[in-house]
Amino acid sequence: MKMEKVTDLQYWMDTHLKTQLNTICYNMGRDWDFVVIVTGSGLVRVGKSVIAQQAGYYVAHKMGTPFTLKNVVFDSEELMKTAHQLPLNSVIVYDEARATLDAKKVMERISKTLMDFFAECGMYNHLIILVLPDFFELNRRMATTRSDALINVFRSAEEKKLQDGTEVLNYKRGYFEFYGKRRKKELYIKGKKAYDNYGVGKRNFWGEFREFWVVDKEEYMKKKVTFLRRDRSKKDTHIESRLGITFKVLCRYESQRKVSELLTNEGYKVSQGRINQLIKSISTNTPVSSYDK
């Protein structure tokens, strides 16, 4: 396994990954656009955003386009706006930051968003790096046809004996596996049949990456938290218009169980106390801002 330092920031990158990114750079300059998916084996906090931004910065540096925190977006509106503002051959990291019980619904929204995006913005020849927890939650077209590669981040586990004799597994970050277009498709088809199993596909190669932030980590976290708060507030403000008149009728005439079922189906995690508060707000037209989604 070989790594080398890249770009003006001189961070370490796997040589095989660099070769794949060079291919993308070459063809971006020949009127092509690309989608690279970065997932984390269904896990969180394994380094998806780090390697996605490292890859994004490398491509932008090669293409001579800027890559700053403005190139990292968290929703479709910001994606569209940023794509129009950036110069040709830019990189946008679309980092899906929202956590939800209904992952399938979220992935359907993302897939539709990207299809709409390329219908409108494909002529900009951008590279879109899509960061999300699980590859298998994407719809078939986005996972197999419209995307060009998959970088799946995983953790290693080494046996370790503590001083008191306790045996544990020591988890380590910094590993990824790369799937090109054909093997990515094979992984999706076989993996879906095997209950979302990443182990059934044959990767092109695997490698390591180091924890190095190409953008300011604190500023990235601030932007992410601000988005999540704004997104939650937006859901609270528009909950009645989102759920429709049926929701109001249920609040007034049906049991709390029925109300709870509807909210759960829409992806909201609501306690019994919050349901009572919500029902009261409907009858008194009092705004409520305590929903989690």
- Residue whose pair of structure tokens reads 């601000």 in the numeric block: 226
Residue 3 has pLDDT above 90, yes or no: yes
Higher pLDDT, 284 or 264: 264
Tell me if 135 sits within 8 A of 152, measured CB to CB.
yes
One-letter amino acid for residue 207 of the chain: G
Q: State mean pLDDT over 71-82.
A: 88
Distance of CA 136 to CAs 191, 195, 269, Å? 8, 9, 23
What pLDDT score does 203 carry? 96
Residue 250 has pLDDT above 80, yes or no: no
> How much helix, strand and coil, in percent to the nearest 5, is found in the chain?
50, 20, 30
What pLDDT score does 6 carry? 98
Give CA angle at 11 (225, 181), nearest 5°: 80
pLDDT tens readout for residues 202-247? 999 999 999 999 999 999 999 988 887 776 655 544 444 444 444 5
* Domain spans of the chain, in order of start: 3-231, 238-284
What pLDDT score does 42 carry? 82
pLDDT tens readout for residues 4-52? 999 999 999 999 999 999 999 999 989 899 999 999 988 888 999 999 9
What pLDDT score does 119 carry? 76
pLDDT tens readout for residues 163-206? 999 999 999 999 999 999 999 999 999 999 998 999 999 999 99
The correct answer on CATH 3.40.47 for the domain covering 3-231 is no
Q: What is the mean pLDDT of the chain?
A: 83
Please, which residues bridge with residue 269 across strands? 292
pLDDT tens readout for residues 145-163? 989 999 999 999 899 999 9
